[in-house]
A = this chain, B = another copy of it.
Amino acid sequence: MEVMRFCQSFMTELYKYVGADTDVPAGDIGVGAREIGYLYGQYKRITGLYEGVLTGKGLSYGGSLVRKQATGYGLCYFTEAMLNAAGKSFKDATVVVSGSGNVAIYANEKATELGAKVVAMSDSNGYIYDKDGIDLDCVKQIKEVKRGRIKEYVDAHPTAEYHEGCSGIWTIKCDIALPCATQNEISLDSCKALVANGCYCVSEGANMPTVIEGIEYLQANGVLFGPAKAANAGGVGTSALEMSQNSERLSWTAEEVDAKLKTIMVNIYHNVEAAAKEYGMEGNFEAGANIAGFLKVADAMYAQGVC
């Protein structure tokens, strides 16, 4: 009740400044489905409007399917596009995914769907390594249902290994690394280990998981690097798709949302790639993402006049 009243009081002040065509906030740390529901209810109560003023809504009142999966799936779509352009693919690749939250689980799911074998995942205590490929249903059971620790995985899969500590995961031999746990989780040393092991692609699912020196080292060694700013945009992209569904007064099927999410991520890759090339930094997708983002905003501002 305390949380509900806080949300209601907050929206009583906020409602004047948001709207489906004005500003559309979404949840974030500490503001999940419950809080979005309370905020949305108060907005509807005050304005009488049943419109998509917030994203991350529950399915019963305007939310979108595939929202939970969006960042992880989107990461793989971006990465696959980047790989394809380099004549590579997830197909038959060995992948390390750090983390075991929503981003990591659904990155694993989609990478596997695209033909990869994911051999490691982690949580804040340590990581598991399963040379036969992670049994994702087991991870989901541990993390989504039992809310347990990743090390429980080895109880069900005796042939898998559990190691304490998080950084060791990057010493596992892999083709592709998908850091989906937390900021700064890949140090310069981890990058060196990845390169030494033949990893040819690092793509970020977490927010800025690779330290700056690490990024430079990876790029200098020809590793395809997908920067978080572009590679993990699937979540906010699906918020936009939720807004489209609200505006159309339709609920798309999971397949439709997934297909549009894929289109968004592939387009992001192409924009990022093109911007890097145009400004003389071909293959530097981090520079490309910064340039493309800046130009889009700057062009729109310029076109719309100042004053």
- A88 interface residue per 8 A CB criterion: no
Task: Kindly state the separation between the CA atoms of A46 and B43 in the bound complex, as whole angstroms.
Answer: 11
Q: Which of A109-117, A246-254, A283-291 contacts B (4 or more CB under 8 A)?
A: A246-254
Instruction: Give CA–CA (A10, B166) in the complex, Å.
Output: 51
Chain copies in the assembly? 6
Q: Is the CB of B304 within 8 A of A61?
A: yes
The answer to whether A299 and B60 touch across the interface, beta carbons within 8 angstroms, is yes
Bound CA–CA A296/B249 (angstroms): 17
CB-CB under 8 A for A45 and B296, given A51-B21, A60-B303, A305-B37: no
**How far, in whole Å, are A45 and B13 apart by their CA atoms in the complex?**
7
Number of interface residues of A (CB under 8 A): 44
User: Would you list 23 pairs from A and B whose C-beta atoms are within 8 A, ordered by A residue?
Assistant: A4-B307, A5-B307, A7-B305, A8-B307, A16-B48, A20-B21, A21-B50, A22-B50, A34-B303, A37-B304, A37-B305, A38-B305, A41-B303, A41-B304, A42-B307, A44-B304, A45-B307, A58-B299, A58-B300, A243-B249, A244-B250, A247-B248, A247-B249
User: Which A residues are closer than 8 A to B by beta carbons?
Assistant: 4-5, 7-9, 12-13, 16, 19-22, 33-34, 37-38, 40-42, 44-46, 48-51, 58, 60-61, 240, 243-244, 247-250, 296, 299-300, 303-307
